[in-house]
Structure formats: C-alpha cells, structure tokens
C-alpha cells in the first residue's frame, strides 16, 4: 500500500500515519521528521533547513525531493509507505510523479484530512501541552505566530494539490474533525473500498479472523477441495459450521461472492 496523507498542520496526519503504520506494517515517510533529525544531527541539510523550519517556511524542493528519492531506494520500502508532509507543493508532486515512474512504483491513493481551520490552533496547543507533559522537547515551529504562517503556506502552496490529485483520480477525502478513532475507521473503509488493501488487511481492519483458518488449523479450502476431488461429501463438521468455500457459505460472502454467486447455472452444470 502506497499512500500520501494531505492536510494542514494539526489535522492529525502524524497520528493517522502512525496508526496506518501499526496496522499494515508500512513505513511512514515524514519529511518534517527527517528534517528535524537532520537539524538535530547538524548535517549539511540540517544546517540549511534549521532557520527556514523555525520560521515556518518551506525547505527548498531539491532538498526534500532528494531526501525522499534516497529513502524510496531503501529495502524496507517494499512493505509500502505513507508519505506525511510530502509533497507540499505542485512542483514537489510533479517531482514525486517522476520519481515513482522511474522507480516503477504505483501510488494507491492520496488521503486528504479535511479540517475546520478554527480548530487547528486548539489542536496544536493540545499537542504542545501533551509534549510538555511527556517531558518531550517542544517543536520550535509550534507557536501561534509560526502556525499561522504554516497555515498560510498550506493554503497557498499545498491546497492546490487537492485539485492536482483529484484530477488524477487519486484523491480520497476524509472528515478530519471526527474523533481519532472514527477518522482511522473511515480511512480503513475507503482503502478497502478502492481495493488498496489485500484481503488479509481488510479482515484485520474489520477485526475478522482470516477465512481460511479453521479451529483445527486446517485450511477450509483444501478440505472442501480434497473431499470434492475424491468424490466424497464435504465433512459434516465443515457443513454444520457453514465453513466451506462453495455457494451459500460464509467464506463466499466475504471473499468469493462474485466468483461463485455470479456463475451462470448452465456453466456449472457443464463443469
Ligand atoms: P511538518 O512536521 O510536516 O509540519 O514539517 C515541519 C517543517 O519542515 C515545515 O514547516 C517545513 O519547514 C519543513 N518541511 C517538511 N516537509 C516539507 C516539504 N515537503 N517541503 C518543504 N519543507 C518541508
């Protein structure tokens, strides 16, 4: 699964990205985090970015595109990723398109967290209070003055990306004003709806057990298949519980409905 999370500062991108990472084992690529690490380590990139970040400005495109390009080449990217805070401008989005094309990577979706701007300041204040309570160092750009600058930059430079990805049929918008839990659930729902998750992930997100594993640990499909091949009836245990993979079974309802239910009766009789 390869995603972009889009939303203004304080919209909950970081929190939702963490939850997606936890659920699907994908990697979070936060340019803000990477840049803060570079500033802390006083690398050449960090030294260039430090003052820009402290003032709420945007670090030059070539720097952030370079960071992302290098990161996409790392082996853990095969698991999938979620981009948080990148791209932030249309030129960055175009650069990302080029990078993905060159690296033969397909983007599944762009999730926009839509929030009411008046709530953002309160959210950032809460974030600061929580960081202080945890004894963590507060971000230098989490002040009301810098936040309003970051918001203005989001409106003028990042918001056009909503149109950019909508035109490319990649945009999925979620109401970011709901509770954290509801936003997470809605994200899972829309990802399942567009087929961005594999069947296993859909079930995991719904809290369902994997279909093919039965009590005794034997895969249902195999049991039914074997019995069918040998011309024997399906074992009673499987019949009773409805755990077969044929028409009318629970398994069918979850993952095989099209495959079985839509078969014309004529064909089935032939087979
Ligand atoms: P964030 O943690 O995403 O809020 O980012 C913190 C700061 O890092 C931003 O205010 C920018 O100064 C810088 N930054 C992060 N991502 C980017 C980006 N994609 N392009 C330019 N600057 C960025």
Note the pLDDT of residue 208.
Answer: 57
Q: Is the CB of 14 under 6 A from ligand 1?
A: no
Query: 63 or 214: whose pLDDT is higher?
Result: 63
- Which atom of ligand 1 is nearest the CA belonging to 57? 12
Task: Please tell me the least confidently modeled range out of 137-141, 172-176, 205-209, 255-259.
Answer: 255-259
CA–CA distance, 91 with 144 (Å, rounded to integer)? 28
Among this protein's residues, is 185 annotated catalytic? no
- Is the pTM here over 0.75, yes or no? no
Among this protein's residues, is 36 annotated catalytic? no
Residue ranges and CATH numbers for the domains of the chain are 2-26+79-116+171-206 (3.40.50.300)
What's the chain's average pLDDT?
A: 79
Pick the catalytic residue from 13, 36, 50, 252. 13
Report CA(167)–ligand 1 centroid distance (Å): 24
- Which atom of ligand 1 is nearest the CA belonging to 13? 3
Q: Has residue 161 got a pLDDT over 50?
A: yes
Note the pLDDT of residue 145.
Answer: 83
Per the CB < 8 A criterion, the answer to whether 39 and 137 are in contact is: no
Per the CB < 8 A criterion, the answer to whether 190 and 174 are in contact is: yes
Per the CB < 8 A criterion, the answer to whether 2 and 24 are in contact is: no
Q: Is the CB of 165 under 6 A from ligand 1?
A: no
Contacts of 172 (CB under 8 A, 6+ apart): 109, 110, 111, 112, 190, 191, 194
Note the pLDDT of residue 231.
Answer: 39
- For residue 187 the two structure tokens come to 């994200």
Mutate to test the pocket of ligand 1, among 4, 13, 35, 50 (most ligand atoms within 8 A of CB): 35
Pick the catalytic residue from 2, 19, 36, 150. 150
Among this protein's residues, is 88 annotated catalytic? yes
Mutate to test the pocket of ligand 1, among 33, 59, 148 (most ligand atoms within 8 A of CB): 59
Instruction: Residue 135: count other Cβ atoms within 10 Å of its Cβ.
Output: 6
Task: Please tell me the least confidently modeled range out of 46-50, 72-76, 159-163, 221-225.
Answer: 221-225
pLDDT band at 241 (very low <50, low <70, confident <90, very high): very low
pLDDT band at 195 (very low <50, low <70, confident <90, very high): confident
Query: 209 or 162: whose pLDDT is higher?
Result: 162
> Average pLDDT in the 240-257 region?
35
Among this protein's residues, is 13 annotated catalytic? yes
User: 243, 208, 252, 203: which is closest to 224 by C-alpha?
Assistant: 243
- Which atom of ligand 1 is nearest the CA belonging to 150? 10
User: Within 13 Å and on the Cβ side, how many CA atoms surround 179?
Assistant: 3
Contacts of 137 (CB under 8 A, 6+ apart): 131
Q: Is the CB of 31 under 6 A from ligand 1?
A: yes
Note the pLDDT of residue 129.
Answer: 84
């Amino acid at each position: 699964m390869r995603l972009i999370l889009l939303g203004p500062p304080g919209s909950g991108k970081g929190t939702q990205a963490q939850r997606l990472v936890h659920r699907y084992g994908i990697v979070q690529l936060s340019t803000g985090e990477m840049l803060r690490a570079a500033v802390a380590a006083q690398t050449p990139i960090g030294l260039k970015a430090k003052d820009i970040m402290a003032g709420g400005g945007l670090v030059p495109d070539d720097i952030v595109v370079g960071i992302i390009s290098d990161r996409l080449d790392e082996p853990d990217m095969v698991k999938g990723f979620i981009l948080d805070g990148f791209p932030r401008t249309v030129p960055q989005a175009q650069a990302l398109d080029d990078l993905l094309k060159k690296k033969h990577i397909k983007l599944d979706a762009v999730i926009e967290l839509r929030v009411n701007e008046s709530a953002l300041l309160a959210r950032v204040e809460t974030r600061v209070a929580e960081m202080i309570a945890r004894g963590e160092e507060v971000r230098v750009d989490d002040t009301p003055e810098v936040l309003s600058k970051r918001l203005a930059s989001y409106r003028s430079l990042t918001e056009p990306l909503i149109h950019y990805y909508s035109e490319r049929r990649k945009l999925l918008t979620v109401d970011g004003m709901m509770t954290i839990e509801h936003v997470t659930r809605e994200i899972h729902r829309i990802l399942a709806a567009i087929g961005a998750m594999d069947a296993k992930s859909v079930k995991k997100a719904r809290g369902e057990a994997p279909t093919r594993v039965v009590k005794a640990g034997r895969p249902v499909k195999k049991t039914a298949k074997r019995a069918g091949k040998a011309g024997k009836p399906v074992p009673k245990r499987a019949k009773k519980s409805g755990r077969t993979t044929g028409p009318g079974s629970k398994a069918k309802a979850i993952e095989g409905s099209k495959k079985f239910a839509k078969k014309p009766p004529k064909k089935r009789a032939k087979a």
